[in-house]
Amino acid sequence: MLNKKDLLGIKELSAEEIILILDTAGGFRDVLGRDIKKVPTLRGKTTVNLFYEPSTRTRTSFELAAKRLSTDVINFSVPTSSVVKGESLIDTALTVQALGADFIIIRHSSSGVPHLLAKKLRASVINAGDGINEHPTQALLDAFTIREKKGKIKGLLIAIVGDIAHSRVAKSNIYSLTKLGAGIRLIGPPTLIPSEIAGMGVQVFHNMEEGLKGVDVLMMLRIQMERQDKGFFPSTEEYSRNWGLTPDRVALAKDDAIVMHPGPMNRGIEIVSEIADGPRSVILEQVTNGIAVRMAVMYLLSGFRR
């Protein structure tokens, strides 16, 4: 049972709660495969997407999840809202709540914003990515995809490759996959892997070939182009040479290893097209599973009783 009002991060969840979300998502995955991809479960409720950072896939995925649960959806995108007139974050959120929102999906460039809103609001707050902190629904859809492909998560060896330091996706995945009993290898240049991270029960590799040996899952991270000029790596060419996923490197992993990417991909930089579109890639399934997992989260949060 998940008696929670909000989903703020994986850090706050137990292994049992994560498994409950994944099991529930299985039921919604069935629904998405039908002709009628909609259920009346949350009829009469309202969802507001409050995105302070650009996003296409996460916002669309939440929008579809909310619609397929029969809630009404409003998209509040910041460039067109009162925020440009100087309205504060809390005021915007309170206004959205006063409009009758039951679910507020928030993305913000500052870590901790969803936690702040969750305290101030009666509505359920779902973190759709906050700064470099967490992106819990991405980690849940990744875990769902791995479990579906591999039949289990416990005991698997999972490599996460790239800019760990600035990745909320990596952080949420480390929390979730270690809680579920997988072994994690973080692979990337020392400038992009914070040294304290070893305390999270992971292995760190600064050599891609070594790190990929024998892994079951290769999880690539997006190289954040906006950080390219900050000196974390010399050039995209060099990054690609050392940390890009190529057929030769995939061959070092287990024969049945799967390749994942949270998107949007920089083709030819962190992953070559041949791999991204190849038979090992589950990247498009991740997208479909994302809707099911987000439906499961909304369904379970709606069961919160004060």
Q: What is the DSSP letter of 123?
A: S
Q: Which of positions 41-70 make contact with another protein (CB under 8 A)? A: 41-42
Task: Return d(Cα 121, Cα 301) in angstroms, integer.
Answer: 14
Closest approach of Cβ 265 to another protein, in Å? 32
The binder of another protein chosen from 9, 28, 106, 192 (CB under 8 A): 28
Side-chain-facing half-sphere of 141: CA atoms under 13 Å: 29
Closest approach of Cβ 28 to another protein, in Å? 8
- The verdict on 302 binding another protein (CB under 8 A) reads yes
The burial of 56, by beta-carbon neighbours within 10 Å (0-12 exposed, 13-18 middle, 19 or more buried), is given as exposed
Between 34 and 85, CB nearer to another protein: 34
Closest approach of Cβ 73 to another protein, in Å? 18
Between 122 and 230, CB nearer to another protein: 122
- The verdict on 238 binding another protein (CB under 8 A) reads no
- The verdict on 137 binding another protein (CB under 8 A) reads no
Judge contact between 288 and 58, C-beta under 8 A.
no
Kindly indicate which of the ranges 34-42, 49-57, 138-146, 283-291 contains the residues binding another protein, using the contact rule CB under 8 A: 34-42
Between 1 and 84, CB nearer to another protein: 1
**Burial letters for 143-169: b for 16+ Cβ neighbours within 10 Å, e otherwise?**
bbbbbebbeebeebbbbbbbbbbbbbb
Kindly indicate which of the ranges 39-47, 77-85, 138-146, 184-192 contains the residues binding another protein, using the contact rule CB under 8 A: 39-47
- The verdict on 3 binding another protein (CB under 8 A) reads yes
Map 26-89 to HEC letters. HHHHHHHCCCCCCCCCCCCCEEEEEECCCCCHHHHHHHHHHHHCCCEEEEEEHHHCHHHHCCCH
CA angle 47, 148, 34 (to 5 degrees): 55
Closest approach of Cβ 26 to another protein, in Å? 6
Judge contact between 188 and 230, C-beta under 8 A.
no
Closest approach of Cβ 138 to another protein, in Å? 21
- The verdict on 100 binding another protein (CB under 8 A) reads no
**Nearest residue to 8 via CA among 139, 125, 180:** 125
CA trace torsion 8, 62, 33, 282 (10° rounding): -70
Closest approach of Cβ 36 to another protein, in Å? 5
- The verdict on 144 binding another protein (CB under 8 A) reads no
Q: Which residues bind another protein (CB under 8 A)?
A: 1-3, 23-24, 26-28, 30-31, 34-36, 38-42, 296, 299-300, 302-303, 305
